[in-house]
């Protein structure tokens, strides 16, 4: 087979066979497909899409391109389950959810990714913790999951290596927002991780890859259908991403928000808490650790309230190389930005809308995200105290605080955030954060 002929067939809207897809996956792994050919394949899929059969073949091909974990030999006293998000602005849910669910008796081997485009990556957030090993070897990963109950890491060279290369190409070739590529990327890592169940958080709105409810529904249904065909039990929630999730955006800043949330310090953001609890309930019910969603939520709330979830988070950080006292002294370990400036409201009224994508782009401009795959990230920069939809403000009130490396970059971010947040009257009606559910 010739790579260019397979790319041509997909470019022209033809369905690829399982053998052709397997050939492409092998070429991605062994390097026989050039960067240009991988990018061209991704772009062809972006424009032409894939059938269910093609999506399953690509997902399984990527999953089997490296090691597949088997947890049976560890005699774990609970189910192995995970959650994944399609990505959003201020989405630090995974950092909160893994220790909560682990504290309820499940084992959560979470393989996460770096930021894509305007959305932050769970891996980039954890990399802001000094010493935290985001890519340990598989033996360490297994040990931490067994001992702590959860471990959040990045893809190793052994797990789904074909997806690792394809993931990097997508980030810099404007092919992120492709449902077949999103589905295969997410599920290949989860299948390779040896899961017994998966809950998906499909973000929908201006800050998500799915900017319409129809696209979010399409992605959720495709994920569930492909997972079912691949033998992985799965449920998906569609959640609102038309504004920042939580109050803070930026890698170290979101870690600090996570610690405060788990320790019960300060006011919890209602929308963020609702997403965390809804996903926890789904995970515990899918894992058969709760007979219903209501019972699952009650267990999750209890693990958060009595400190067990916070304790698990601290143990995970320590077990993966971070400070042993991170939970108690996180402020001393997270490097602050040298410049902190208020972003003032330009006139009074209510916050009636937010372009969350532009807020995410403002953080990328500060240095908190990537424009190129090899860009370094400044973990200290970002936004804190972002106002929510419906908030009433006066002229000059802070819409957020900008954490920047320089006054010049802070000024640029202020202009972007002011343009992204629309202030008018009257206050808009409340919008539910949980928009839908897709199950097998």
Task: Give catalytic residues, as residue numbers.
Answer: 82-85, 122, 170, 185, 189-190
Residue 422 has a CB neighbour count (10 Å cut-off) of: 15
Using the structure block, give the residue that is written with the tokens 């399409």. 218
Contact call for residues 131 and 322 (beta carbons, < 8 A): yes
Contact call for residues 81 and 163 (beta carbons, < 8 A): no
| Spatial separation of the C-alpha atoms in residues 193 and 195, rounded to whole Å | 6
The one-character DSSP state at 74 is: G
What is the DSSP track for 387-423?
PPTT-EE-TT-EEEEEEESSHHHHHHHHHHHHHHEEE
CA torsion angle for 240, 246, 247, 250 (degrees, to 10)? -100
Nearest CA to 249 out of 269, 230, 264 is that of: 269
Using the structure block, give the residue that is written with the tokens 């471990």. 151
Q: What is the pairing mode between strands 421-424 and 349-354?
A: antiparallel
Give, for 435, the enclosing helix (H) or strand (E). strand 434-439
Tell me the angle at which helices 251-263 and 270-286 cross, rounded to the nearest 10 degrees.
Answer: 70
Nearest CA to 427 out of 353, 347, 350 is that of: 350
Nearest CA to 53 out of 222, 193, 177, 182 is that of: 222
| Spatial separation of the C-alpha atoms in residues 323 and 326, rounded to whole Å | 5
What is the DSSP track for 250-263?
SHHHHHHHHHHHHH
**Which structure tokens are listed for 358?**
């532009």
| Spatial separation of the C-alpha atoms in residues 424 and 249, rounded to whole Å | 24
Contact call for residues 202 and 241 (beta carbons, < 8 A): no
């Amino acid at each position: 087979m010739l790579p260019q002929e397979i790319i041509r067939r997909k470019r022209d809207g033809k369905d690829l066979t399982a053998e052709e897809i397997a050939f492409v996956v092998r070429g991605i792994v062994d390097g026989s497909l050039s960067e240009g050919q991988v990018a061209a394949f991704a772009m062809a899929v972006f424009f032409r899409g894939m059938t269910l059969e093609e999506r399953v073949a690509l997902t399984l091909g990527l999953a089997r391109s490296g090691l597949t974990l088997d947890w049976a030999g560890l005699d774990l006293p609970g189910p192995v389950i995970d959650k994944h998000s399609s990505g959003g602005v201020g989405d630090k849910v995974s950092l909160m959810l893994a220790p909560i669910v682990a504290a309820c008796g499940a084992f959560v081997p979470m393989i996460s990714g770096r930021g894509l485009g305007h959305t932050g990556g769970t891996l980039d957030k954890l990399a802001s913790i000094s010493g935290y090993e985001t890519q340990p070897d598989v033996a360490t990963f297994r040990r931490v999951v067994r001992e702590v109950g959860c471990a959040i890491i990045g893809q190793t060279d052994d797990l789904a290596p074909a997806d690792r290369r394809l993931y990097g190409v997508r980030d810099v070739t404007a092919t992120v927002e492709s449902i077949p590529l999103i589905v295969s990327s997410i599920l290949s890592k989860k299948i390779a991780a040896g899961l017994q169940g998966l809950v998906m958080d499909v973000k929908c709105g201006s800050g998500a890859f799915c900017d319409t409810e129809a696209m979010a529904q399409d992605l959720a249904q495709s994920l569930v259908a492909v997972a079912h065909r691949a033998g992985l039990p799965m449920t998906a929630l569609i959640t609102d991403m038309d504004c920042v999730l939580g109050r803070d955006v930026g890698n170290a800043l979101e870690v600090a928000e996570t610690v405060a949330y788990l320790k019960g310090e300060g006011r919890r953001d209602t929308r963020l808490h609702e997403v965390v609890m809804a996903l926890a309930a789904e995970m515990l019910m899918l894992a058969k650790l709760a007979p219903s969603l209501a019972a699952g939520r009650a267990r999750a709330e209890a693990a958060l309230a009595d400190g067990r979830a916070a304790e698990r988070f601290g143990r995970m950080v320590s077990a993966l190389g971070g400070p042993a006292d991170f939970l108690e002294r996180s402020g001393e370990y997270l490097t602050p930005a040298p410049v902190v400036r208020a972003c003032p409201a330009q006139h009074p009224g209510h916050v009636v809308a937010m372009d969350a994508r532009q807020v995410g782009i403002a953080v990328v401009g500060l240095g908190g995200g990537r424009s190129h795959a090899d860009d370094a990230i400044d973990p200290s920069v970002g936004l804190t105290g972002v106002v929510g939809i419906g908030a009433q403000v006066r002229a000059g009130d802070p819409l957020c605080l900008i954490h920047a490396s320089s006054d010049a970059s802070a000024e640029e971010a202020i202009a972007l955030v002011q343009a992204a947040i629309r202030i008018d009257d009257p206050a808009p009606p409340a919008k539910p954060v949980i928009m839908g559910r897709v199950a097998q």
